[in-house]
């Protein structure tokens, strides 16, 4: 082994021992990103099913459901190999719960295609399985956060919460448009849409006012805010005029914008840890 190569290896070992926080963050942060994408895809698949149901089997929503299912499956695979035993067990449970939900979703889509309608109870059961997936996803996120609180910045965490809240609003709206709201989704404890909308607006305003935002981040957040204002009134007046197609379309675009902001927040942290 050359002296230069030996020096490089010793330096790398020194950094690993001296800076365990950076090492743990580098290991944990990608898992948190995969978990966010999984959570969003799993939740979106349910909202798109409600759209598929209310739009009488419109194939564009069948394709969206399939895309969400594929995305969730991809992200679950990327969560394998966690070094923490507790987190690894949660990942296994998450995978099992996702597979059970996915089977229910496949069955109901087939029933809708064959008979043109679905019974309420199987849909409520499927929605309950979806909530299990989301709850385990949150538990896994918390476990990873406990393992290394520095793996994700406060700004990135705030953007993550906004993305999940937007997806929750979209699913709630689609459920009400499809049938009878919470009883259709099987979640009687769901927050009213008005509360979720107010929460989203407040969180978005808080994120936009952070003094450390770069010009690029502010531009991306302004684009998100413009789209949000476009559907905000429709969300608040959902009992007067239902526009599920519009809300579905813009919520997807808003979430993509927030994911872009998340990437922008993550980049400086990655650059810092590598320098």
Which tens digits make up the pLDDT trace of 174-227? 988 876 444 444 455 578 899 999 999 999 999 999 998 999 999 999 999 999
Quick one: pLDDT band at residue 112, thresholds 50, 70, 90?
Answer: confident
Nearest Cα to 216, choosing from 160, 178, 162, 260? 260
* SS3 at position 61: helix
Contact 138, 94 (CB under 8 A): no
Structure tokens at 232: 């905000």
Mean pLDDT across the chain: 84
Question: pTM, whole model, 2 decimals?
Answer: 0.84
Fold of 22-152: de novo design (two linked rop proteins) (1.20.1440)
Domains of the chain, by residue range, sit at: 22-152, 153-275
* Rounded average pLDDT over 123-150: 91
User: Bigger pLDDT: 241 or 77?
Assistant: 77
10, 20, 26, 149, 152 from 15: Cα distances, Å: 9, 8, 13, 20, 20
Position 30 scores a pLDDT of 86
């Amino acid at each position: 082994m050359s002296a230069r190569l030996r020096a490089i290896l010793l330096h790398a070992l020194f950094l690993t021992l001296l800076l365990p926080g950076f090492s743990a963050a580098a290991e944990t942060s990608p898992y948190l990103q995969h978990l966010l994408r999984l959570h969003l895809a799993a939740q979106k698949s349910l909202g798109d099913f409600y759209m598929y149901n209310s739009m009488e089997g419109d194939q564009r929503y069948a394709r969206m459901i399939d895309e969400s299912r594929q995305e969730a499956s991809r992200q679950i695979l990327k969560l394998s190999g966690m070094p923490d035993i507790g987190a690894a067990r949660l990942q296994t449970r998450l995978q099992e719960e996702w597979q059970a939900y996915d089977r229910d979703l496949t069955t109901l889509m087939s029933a809708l295609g064959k008979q043109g309608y679905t019974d309420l109870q199987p849909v409520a059961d499927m929605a309950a399985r979806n909530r299990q997936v989301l709850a385990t996803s949150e538990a896994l996120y918390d476990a990873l956060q406990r393992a290394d609180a520095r793996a994700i910045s406060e700004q990135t965490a705030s953007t993550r919460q906004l993305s999940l809240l937007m997806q929750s609003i979209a699913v709630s709206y689609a459920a009400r448009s499809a049938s009878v709201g919470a009883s259709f989704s099987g979640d009687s404890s769901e927050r009213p849409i008005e509360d979720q909308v107010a929460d989203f607006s407040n969180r978005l305003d808080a994120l936009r006012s952070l003094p450390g935002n770069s010009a690029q981040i502010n531009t991306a957040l302004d684009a998100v805010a413009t789209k949000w204002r476009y559907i905000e009134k429709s969300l608040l007046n959902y009992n007067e005029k239902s526009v599920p197609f519009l809300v579905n379309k813009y919520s997807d675009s808003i979430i993509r914008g927030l994911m872009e902001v998340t990437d922008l927040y993550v980049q400086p942290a990655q650059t810092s840890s590598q320098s």
